[in-house]
Structure 1
Amino acid sequence: MKPQPLEAYVEQMTLAEKIGQLLQLAVSFFEGAETEGEITGPMEVLGVSEENVRNTGSVLGLSGAQEAINIQQAHLRKNRLGIPLLIMADIIHGYKTIFPVPLAIGCSWDLKLAERSAEIAALEAAVSGVHVTFAPMADLVRDPRWGRVMESAGEDPFLNGEFARAFVRGFQGKDLQNDTSRVAACVKHFAAYGAAEGGRDYNTVDLSERQLREYYLPAYKAALDEGCEMVMASFNTVDGIPSTGNKRLLRRLLREEWGFGGVIISDWGAVKELIPHGAAADEKEAALRSIEAGIDIEMMTTCYMKHLAELAESGVIDEKLIDEAVLRILRLKQKLGLFDNPYRGADPAREAEIVFCGEHRAVSRELAAKSCVLLKNEGVLPLRRDQSIALIGPFAQSGDILGPWSWQGSTEAAVRLVDGIAAKTGMGRIAVAEGCGFEEASDRQLEAALRAAEGADVIVLALGESSEMSGEAGCRGDIRLPQAQLALIERLAELGKPMAAVLFNGRPLDLHGVADRAGAVLEAWFPGSEGGHAIADLLFGDAQPSGRLTMSFPYAAGQIPVYYNHFNTGRPKDAPDAQVRYVSQYLDMPNEPLYPFGYGLSYTSFAYGEPGLSSPEMTPDRPLTVKVKVANTGVAAAEETVQLYVRDLAGDVVRPVKELKDFRKILLQPGETREVAFELTEPQLRYHHADLTFASDAGDFLVYIGPNSRDAAGMRFSLRL
């Protein structure tokens, strides 16, 4: 059917056809799917008919170009008006070429490389038939017990926003209609999903509106300001109301205040989940609350399908609400060019050529190396090629290094750590032993590990969490390494040999038993398809560690939440006149994290000179220039991330002890010194006041510049308004 004005489609639709556009089903429901033989079961469970599938507006979870073409062809034959399907998928940190998990990408502090990773993910997904990705996740995270911290860029709202923008640019490009190598982005999870109580997935969120606006909303807004086409509502409550049925959050804030005119989609099953939340008595009320709140697409439940027609025909809701949602969905389909080309981008021949190609894997390797963070090094690293190495641990030969949300990636094709090291030294210098499993150990495994270690010059431990231990629903109350791995380290440490621990995980860990026993600790996260090569590059000094933490590592789980941009108290522990006991402190551990935000080591050393200010006063018309000289005082060229923080000393509401305002990544040769300059402006000092106005205050501030949030030199200045 020839494309026509979108309003004409809506006018011709029956009410059932309109509601069908608001339904999203998994791929197994559709003719042409590789799993179509299994359609009957899901249809019966959800009560979905052939007519419902025929009218459905979008599908999620496709696995390749030919399947996308087959499903779209079959759908267009059956859909009365010939309206194409939107094909969506979770392309979180790569399609088949898997990049490090987003938390690791954040630790690269490399916005250009982050954008490039999203561009490659979009290219591979688009040529495989995908139109929309459920990314980026812009949730602020402060609790590493929550498994989904691996999908966020970290604990800082400014940095999260910068990465959200970079990912949106990479996914979408500048012209979705004509650039079929890009996909539409869907920022998630709106809102404040990362503040789930107890770090437990899907749990309650309870924040003041000022906290919500100051810390949790800015990164979503940054993604939308960059042109992000879709928003996914979160599972959690916000101010006592689940986001999926939260009119104040979705219609008033997102639609009216922010002016977002794109599509809002529920998360999987979240409309029906209003019932167990206690926000709806039944599916009919769930449908009513969600459509009134502004949910355009219901993902994988059928409350809209079963009840919206009755609600409209009885006058409980105005059918215009449905029409508006349909139009938003059709506009996105038009923006993607689907009415002109329903098979947009899908090309089996190009798919075979492009997906998981060498060029893409090279970028994955570079980003993985830049994402790793060297947390400790007492002269153990870099390794020498003439050393004999005992490579021990459950990750020594494991391909489980892709991490959660890598459903199209291949663990078989992932470069294992043993292969990366062997590429440097040959297998003749490596003795490999598992030592233990992820959570269990046998005497035989331990004996083999001890034999391997006794004959080696250095021990490389490959430890961490399996991918199932983080990600969605991967929450842990105890974030230490499993006991089997801690026992392995303890026994190996008794040998007194140099020992480097390489950690694979999706969250900051409590590193007791690791950091105190290993001479070096390299946080590798889940590094992606080229992880083994990237880590070996770092272990042997062929690449320099340059990652810096974007989420604090706690001293122990009892501190959680622990984050750098916290408030002071009326009785701070470090006050000059503080009493020994009656201050804000723990009796059994420090207040500070083990490794703070912004922290990371290199194989070289950097020296910071005295920072300088262009003036002791700032005005709205006269920003400040903040300068510092940084010198590479070591023997290797390396990147340093120079970080700028500010503290407002007295505000209308309490202000954090430090807030990141800017950063620069610089490459310095041995002996090189470079001056780094930042411009600090009055808008950067604004915040949400008690009445939620967003403004700055005249008064005194401290500006800090240094290598991390802890080790930064401060200078005082005043803002005059």
Structure 2
Amino acid sequence: MTDQFLHDLLGRMTTDEKVAQLMQLATPFFKGASNSGEITGPMVNMNVTDETVENTGSVLGAWGAKEIKAIQERHLQENRLGIPLLMMADVIHGYRTIFPVPLAIGSSWDLELAEKSAQIAAKEAAVSGIHVTFAPMVDLVRDPRWGRVMESTGEDPYLNGAFARVQVEGFQGDDLKNNTDTLASCVKHFAAYGAAEGGRDYNTVNMSERDLREYYLPAYKAALEAGSEMVMTAFNTVDGIPATGNKTLMRDLLREEWGFDGVLISDWGAVKELIPHGVAANEKEAAEKAIKAGLDIEMMTTTYASHLKELIEEEKVDASLLDEAVLRVLELKQKLGLFENPYRGADEEREKEVIRCDEHRQTAQDLAAKSAVLLKNDNVLPLKKEQKIALIGPFAEGNDILGPWSFLGSTDDAITVKAGIEQKLNKEVIAAKGSDIETGEDDDLQKAIKLAGEAEVVVLALGEASEMSGEAGSRTNIQLPAPQLKLVEEIVKIGKPTVAVLFNGRPLDLHGVIDKTDAVLEAWFPGTEGGAAIADLLYGEVNPSGKLTMSFPDNVGQVPVYYNHFNTGRPKGAPDAQIRYVSQYLDSPNAPMFPFGYGLSYTTYAYDQFSLSRETLKKGETLTAQVNVSNTGKVAGEEIVQLYIQDKVGEIVRPLKELKGFEKIHLEPGETKTVQFTITEEQLRYHHADLSYTSDPGEFVVFVGPNSAEVEAQSFELE
């Protein structure tokens, strides 16, 4: 297929057919779907005609090779020009083989395994007929009250950008047309969705353009540089204008400045939401603002279908805007090879072989193990197989461990903690729930107490239900629910060594757990093979290596609390500071309970001989930071060596530390490795007051260490 073919096709389309190409409808609208006609909820009032459906450009939420082929076949019979549908879905951290939630994947600091998980998700989804995934979400997050932190990789722009790149590459591969085991990637949510006020979903975002460019935009740009074919708009405002109708953000920055010529799609219903936002009086005005802002596909509202033709006839919208939007949609279909093969990779027989195959499940188990973060260990872990264990808590046998964006993942497929440990020990383990996730009964508590009294060691499996985080999962109380805290309190009274394993989608306030138990393992929502991975970790067959990519607050009142913050004119702890009149809380520390980059191991590491190759750096030159890292313990392990830099004096106040590099190394007991990082002037640049992206001459401090708080420092001058 040539570009001329697409232009000829566009020339044959009527205005109504063009407008319909920009509509995305859910599966029940389509005649070939098995649930066709089940139009419920808000869909009832959309007033979508059969003619519109016959010309619609894309489908939301269809799945399964048989189903998708049936929808496509019927559509091609009824579409006048035989234009195939795009099939899109939320394949966020797995299709049927579910990997850990993205915040957990971030905590692995394992880019290779993250890319492999995206490849597997794409392969399973593509063989089931899907063409596009709404992933990765690269929103920078600093507020654990926001439920969607589980879908991000954390609070750092550098690290988020690194994960954005590998996930896009994993989903898309090198050739969307000829490699049908791939998906087109849609990076989201553009822009700054993770900065919603109060951590409340869909809420206002208010920040300077400089902050936007410095911290929130880099990960989106990294995804686009990796080739992401699509971008999804955010629900929130940016500089007072909702992103979906924000011409400055979408057309001026995204398209003109960055050169993005792919497909821009709204989030669900976001075009019509310009009305309650208060920037459009009605649907017609919402459609006008969205198309002028550069939005191509409208997801699950009908402002384009109802008003775009009229707006063009009234000359309020130039017809060229419609043509360019439609052409972008057609070009994506061409890149995917849909005009030659509208069914692409959909294959019922191969579907059976690929989905949840042994290789995919093993990768999910490996990533779950590398994503877990050991937060505390008072010589309790690893457990010994001969120890009599009491497994207690709502997640002891609970299978709600996939997370809130697990798409087609089935909890029936999930390996529970009990099943994982039984498989490890090759014998039955007695478990008691002690309480439910949010409620408790005294009988359950007493059974748990009795079981704990008969054991040598207690493992408490605690956490949030998946619905307590994710989209619309905002919370002001980020402690474990009260019945679980009571369960912890009563069990530790027995005096047995106690390990807490946590399942959750956000950083938690761990008071009532961290101070009472002997060891705490943050497992997140670990996915399909979670229980097997946890058993490997508890019994030392895998040494924990995960490190936090989002700070855990000491108190929710500190939020937002993050490592790369600014200093103040009255910093706490300064040599000449007064006791009271400094930037501090009277009732809480400033520092988080656990900082960015933190995570323990079953071995210990020593950092020494940290040095810089030179004392000055000029543009065009490089400087090498070098440190020796030794495994001083008795077991092999993986250490994540982290490099941070501080610009001591800038035109704009600069963060106390910024991550600029990391390396994950394997060390046998007693082994030492030399880790080197290359520093260039480009890494020292930032957005100045005039938004120019340059560096300042002067002193810079380089930090190296196991996390953002425990570091060694050396300085150099940029000339």
TM-score (norm 1): 0.99
Which residue of structure 2 aligns with residue 516 of structure 1? 515
Structure-to-structure mapping, 1:541-620, within 5 angstroms: 541-620=540-619
Which residue of structure 1 aligns with residue 408 of structure 2? 408
Which residue of structure 2 aligns with residue 227 of structure 1? 227
Which residue of structure 2 aligns with residue 248 of structure 1? 248
Give the residue type in structure 2 aligned to 1:534.
A
Q: Does 1:708 align with 2:688?
A: no
Q: How far apart are 1:608 and its partner, in Å? A: 0.6
Q: Does 1:398 align with 2:362?
A: no
Give the residue type in structure 1 aligned to 2:84.
P
Q: How far apart are 1:40 and its partner, in Å? A: 8.2
Which residue of structure 2 aligns with residue 109 of structure 1? 109
Give the residue type in structure 1 aligned to 2:200.
R
Which residue of structure 2 aligns with residue 206 of structure 1? 206
Q: How far apart are 1:2 and its partner, in Å? A: 12
Which residue of structure 1 aligns with residue 623 of structure 2? 624
Give the residue type in structure 2 aligned to 1:107.
S
Post-superposition CA distance 1:565-617 (Å, at most 9, x none): 00000000011111000000000110000000000000000011031010111
Q: Distance between the aligned counterparts of 1:529 and 1:625, measured in 2?
A: 42
Q: Distance between the aligned counterparts of 1:516 and 1:523, measured in 2?
A: 15
Q: Does 1:69 align with 2:80?
A: no
Q: Distance between the aligned counterparts of 1:587 and 1:489, measured in 2?
A: 28
User: Is the CA contact (8 Å cut-off) linking 2:23 and 2:297 kept in structure 1?
Assistant: yes
Q: How far apart are 1:37 and its partner, in Å? A: 3.8
Which residue of structure 2 aligns with residue 9 of structure 1? 9
Q: Does 1:57 align with 2:57?
A: yes
User: Is the CA contact (8 Å cut-off) linking 1:30 and 1:39 kept in structure 2?
Assistant: no
Q: How far apart are 1:425 and its partner, in Å? A: 1.7
Q: Does 1:376 align with 2:383?
A: no
3-state SS of paired residue (1:412) = helix
Give the residue type in structure 1 aligned to 2:701.
L
Which residue of structure 1 aligns with residue 539 of structure 2? 540
Which residue of structure 2 aligns with residue 634 of structure 1? 633
Q: Distance between the aligned counterparts of 1:200 and 1:3, measured in 2?
A: 45
The root-mean-square deviation of aligned C-alpha atoms, in Å, is: 1.1
User: Is the CA contact (8 Å cut-off) linking 1:29 and 1:43 kept in structure 2?
Assistant: no
Q: Does 1:138 align with 2:150?
A: no
3-state SS of paired residue (1:334) = helix
Which residue of structure 2 aligns with residue 365 of structure 1? 365
Q: How far apart are 1:31 and its partner, in Å? A: 1.2
User: Is the CA contact (8 Å cut-off) linking 1:402 and 1:414 kept in structure 2?
Assistant: yes
3-state SS of paired residue (1:38) = coil
Which residue of structure 2 aligns with residue 310 of structure 1? 310
3-state SS of paired residue (1:657) = coil
Single out whichever of 73-82 and 619-628 deviates more from structure 2. Answer: 619-628
Q: How far apart are 1:622 and its partner, in Å? A: 2.1
Change (3 A) 1:350 1:4: farther
Q: Distance between the aligned counterparts of 2:526 and 2:249, measured in 1?
A: 35
Q: Distance between the aligned counterparts of 1:183 and 1:126, measured in 2?
A: 6
Post-superposition CA distance 1:216-235 (Å, at most 9, x none): 00000000000000000000
Q: How far apart are 1:101 and its partner, in Å? A: 0.2
User: Is the CA contact (8 Å cut-off) linking 1:3 and 1:339 kept in structure 2?
Assistant: no
Q: How far apart are 1:448 and its partner, in Å? A: 0.6
User: Is the CA contact (8 Å cut-off) linking 2:424 and 2:535 kept in structure 1?
Assistant: yes
Structure-to-structure mapping, 1:60-459, within 5 angstroms: 60-428=60-428, 430-459=429-458
Post-superposition CA distance 1:500-542 (Å, at most 9, x none): 0000000000000000001000000000000000000000000
Which residue of structure 2 aligns with residue 687 of structure 1? 686
Give the residue type in structure 1 aligned to 2:635.
A
Q: How far apart are 1:42 and its partner, in Å? A: 6.8
Give the residue type in structure 2 aligned to 1:520.
A
Q: How far apart are 1:3 and its partner, in Å? A: 10
Give the residue type in structure 2 aligned to 1:65.
A
Q: How far apart are 1:423 and its partner, in Å? A: 1.0
Q: Distance between the aligned counterparts of 2:410 and 2:632, measured in 1?
A: 42
3-state SS of paired residue (2:638) = strand
3-state SS of paired residue (1:288) = helix
Q: Distance between the aligned counterparts of 1:197 and 1:105, measured in 2?
A: 25
Q: Distance between the aligned counterparts of 1:534 and 1:719, measured in 2?
A: 46
TM-score (norm 2): 0.99
Q: How far apart are 1:34 and its partner, in Å? A: 2.0
3-state SS of paired residue (2:404) = coil
Which residue of structure 2 aligns with residue 481 of structure 1? 480
Which residue of structure 1 aligns with residue 500 of structure 2? 501
User: Is the CA contact (8 Å cut-off) linking 1:106 and 1:154 kept in structure 2?
Assistant: yes
Q: How far apart are 1:45 and its partner, in Å? A: 1.8
User: Is the CA contact (8 Å cut-off) linking 2:94 and 2:407 kept in structure 1?
Assistant: no
Q: How far apart are 1:137 and its partner, in Å? A: 0.3
Change (3 A) 1:2 1:670: closer
Q: Distance between the aligned counterparts of 2:118 and 2:578, measured in 1?
A: 52
Q: Distance between the aligned counterparts of 2:88 and 2:707, measured in 1?
A: 39
Q: Distance between the aligned counterparts of 1:509 and 1:387, measured in 2?
A: 30
Post-superposition CA distance 1:43-80 (Å, at most 9, x none): 64200010010010000101200001000000000000
User: Is the CA contact (8 Å cut-off) linking 1:188 and 1:233 kept in structure 2?
Assistant: yes
Q: Distance between the aligned counterparts of 1:531 and 1:195, measured in 2?
A: 30
User: Is the CA contact (8 Å cut-off) linking 1:108 and 1:367 kept in structure 2?
Assistant: yes
Q: How far apart are 1:621 and its partner, in Å? A: 2.5
Q: Does 1:650 align with 2:649?
A: yes
User: Is the CA contact (8 Å cut-off) linking 2:548 and 2:596 kept in structure 1?
Assistant: yes
Q: Distance between the aligned counterparts of 1:178 and 1:362, measured in 2?
A: 27
Q: Distance between the aligned counterparts of 1:540 and 1:321, measured in 2?
A: 61
Give the residue type in structure 2 aligned to 1:686.
R
Change (3 A) 1:427 1:698: same
User: Is the CA contact (8 Å cut-off) linking 1:29 and 1:42 kept in structure 2?
Assistant: no
Q: Distance between the aligned counterparts of 2:2 and 2:681, measured in 1?
A: 53
Q: Distance between the aligned counterparts of 1:719 and 1:3, measured in 2?
A: 49
Change (3 A) 1:2 1:547: closer
User: Is the CA contact (8 Å cut-off) linking 2:606 and 2:629 kept in structure 1?
Assistant: yes
Give the residue type in structure 1 aligned to 2:523.
A
Q: Distance between the aligned counterparts of 2:34 and 2:115, measured in 1?
A: 32
Give the residue type in structure 1 aligned to 2:645.
V
User: Is the CA contact (8 Å cut-off) linking 1:3 and 1:340 kept in structure 2?
Assistant: no
User: Is the CA contact (8 Å cut-off) linking 1:510 and 1:557 kept in structure 2?
Assistant: yes
3-state SS of paired residue (2:374) = strand
Change (3 A) 1:659 1:43: closer
Q: How many residues align?
A: 719
3-state SS of paired residue (1:528) = coil
User: Is the CA contact (8 Å cut-off) linking 2:29 and 2:37 kept in structure 1?
Assistant: no
Post-superposition CA distance 1:622-664 (Å, at most 9, x none): 2111000000000100000000000000000000000000000
Q: How far apart are 1:348 and its partner, in Å? A: 0.4
3-state SS of paired residue (1:374) = strand
Q: Distance between the aligned counterparts of 1:392 and 1:97, measured in 2?
A: 27
Q: How far apart are 1:9 and its partner, in Å? A: 1.2
Q: Distance between the aligned counterparts of 2:315 and 2:710, measured in 1?
A: 63
Structure 2: 5+ residue runs without aligned partners? none
Q: Distance between the aligned counterparts of 2:72 and 2:430, measured in 1?
A: 52
Q: Distance between the aligned counterparts of 1:680 and 1:361, measured in 2?
A: 39
Structure 1: 5+ residue runs without aligned partners? none
Post-superposition CA distance 1:215-272 (Å, at most 9, x none): 0000000000000000000000000000000000000000000000000000000000
